């Protein structure tokens, strides 16, 4: 059975496959607008996300998603109106600030790289209760 959804922008029904919930017509229009937005940002780096949303008639959450996906990058983090998902500090692109990205990477590093564990041989007691 086909996956039929409603386009987020125009409200028409379309056959969904993958990616944003947009019909083919709106998807093409948004890609064109993305290039226009990048051009505008190049000409005027001080533009905010709200100004871009209003100028290009695109919903703010839609543009914020492009910032999260790093399709739009702001040189001034405050202009993006997007904050780090972890610490809420303003960021120019992505979902996390550089500090939180580093913390996350350290968290995913193999245990031996995180820190050297002290020798615990002979110091671990086993429980008497074995279930």
**What is the per-residue pLDDT across 21-69, written as a single tens digit (0 to 9) for each?**
899 999 999 999 999 999 999 999 889 999 999 999 988 998 999 999 9
pLDDT band at 121; cut points 50, 70, 90: very low
H-run or E-run covering 131: none
Our count of domains for the chain comes to 1
Q: Is residue 127 part of a domain?
A: no
pLDDT of residue 111: 58
Q: Is residue 124 part of a domain?
A: no
Q: Is residue 16 part of a domain?
A: yes
Pairing of strands 90-91, 82-83: antiparallel
Q: Is residue 70 part of a domain?
A: yes
Q: Is residue 131 part of a domain?
A: no
**Residue range of the domain that includes 41:** 4-113
Q: Is residue 57 part of a domain?
A: yes
Q: Is residue 78 part of a domain?
A: yes
Residue 54 corresponds to which tokens in the numbers above? Answer: 């209003």
φ, ψ at 14 (rounded to 5°) = -150, 160
Residue 24 corresponds to which tokens in the numbers above? Answer: 């083919």
Which whole number is the average pLDDT over 110-122? 52
Q: Is residue 102 part of a domain?
A: yes
Model pTM?
Answer: 0.71
């Amino acid at each position: 059975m086909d996956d039929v959804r409603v386009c987020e922008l125009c409200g028409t029904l379309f056959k969904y496959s993958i990616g944003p919930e947009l019909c083919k017509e709106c998807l093409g229009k948004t890609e064109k607008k993305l290039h226009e937005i990048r051009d505008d940002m190049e000409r005027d780096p001080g533009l905010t996300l709200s100004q871009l949303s209003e100028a290009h008639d695109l919903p703010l959450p839609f543009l914020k998603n492009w910032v999260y996906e790093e399709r739009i990058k702001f040189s001034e983090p405050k202009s993006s109106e997007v904050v780090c998902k972890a610490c809420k500090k303003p960021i120019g692109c992505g979902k996390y600030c550089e500090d939180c990205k580093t913390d996350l990477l350290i968290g995913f590093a193999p245990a031996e790289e995180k820190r050297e564990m002290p020798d615990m041989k002979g110091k671990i007691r086993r429980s008497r209760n074995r279930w």
